[in-house]
Homo-oligomer: A and B are copies of this chain.
Amino acid sequence: MGDEIEKVPILRLTEEGRNSIEDIVVREYPITIILNNEELVTMLCSPQDMDYLAVGFLFSEGLLESKDEIKNVLVDEKRGIVRVDTYEEKEVNNEFLFKRMITSGCGRGASFYRAADAKKRVKIESGTEISTHEVLLLMKEFQHRSEVFRETGGVHSAALCDTKNILVFKEDIGRHNAIDKIFGECVMKDIPTEGRIVVTSGRISSEILLKVARRDIPIIISKSAPTDLGVRLADELGITLFGFVRGKRINAYTNFWRIKGNGSR
């Protein structure tokens, strides 16, 4: 927690008056990812697990395929730099890099949501099933874990789960970053992702969907709303999408056959 938040003096205003108090805000920290001495990107993140963020990002962007390619990962926290070196040289074509980088992050990019790109992906066939009760319990546990959010209201959370438990949990000011941190840790620690479940606090857009599909995740659960493209891709890629999981209600959008006790469609 320590480094993710900062205390600031504020005025608390109401119609009745004002109070000088101290409040906490979430930190926003620039890190630069350097792959084999090439400066790839600088992004704003929460300054925790920056090694996992860098590795997860490189996998999401298709620049790494296996942990075995990685020679070392060095984090220079002070200067905000993560260096990832691979055994073999990586051809990072500038044109490609340019395109891909814009793609990532906040909804920029041409390639990801093109039908052709989604079509190239193999449909996820995992037989993992989950019940309404299990979805509600996972979300309850997930929200219980979101400490920084409770304190600052300023971060997103993501978790890798099985149907009963949270296995990996991360928070970050960026909803994409929180998911990259999860997958980065999975890569570094050889935690399998296939057949498992991702829970997220953030909106499920097409990019989040494709990030998750890339790790063979059959079920995604969100506290928030999906977009139309998120729903369409989940449908096509064989992913079961749950949104608006709040209180005792769930919206199921796609691939209902994974819902235990609710029959098939």
Contact = CB atoms under 8 A, between A and B. Distances in A.
Contact of A256 (B11, B133, B224): B11
Contacts of A110: 30, 32, 42
Contacts of A1: none
Contacts of A106: 43, 104-108, 174, 176
Interface size class of A (residues with CB under 8 A): 35 or more
10 closest A-B pairs by CB: A106-B106, A44-B107, A105-B106, A154-B225, A28-B227, A11-B252, A42-B110, A13-B250, A153-B225, A28-B229
A218 interface: no
A6 B228 contact: yes
A26 interface: yes
Interface of A: 6, 8, 10-15, 18, 23, 25-28, 30, 32, 41-45, 94, 97-98, 101-110, 113, 132-133, 135-136, 152-154, 173-174, 176, 203, 205-207, 224-231, 244, 248-253, 256, 259, 262, 265
A25 B176 contact: no
Say whether chain A's binding surface is mostly helix, strand, loop, or mixed.
mixed
B250 A8 contact: no
A261 to B, nearest CB: 9
A60 to B, nearest CB: 13
A239 to B, nearest CB: 15
A158 B9 CA distance: 26
A42 B207 CA distance: 13
A44 B205 contact: yes
Contact of A10 (B10, B102, B252): B252
A245 to B, nearest CB: 9
Contacts of A203: 154, 173
A133 B32 CA distance: 43
Contacts of A101: 98, 101-102, 108
A153 B13 CA distance: 28
A26 B173 contact: no
A102 B41 contact: yes
Contact of A251 (B12, B108, B206): B12
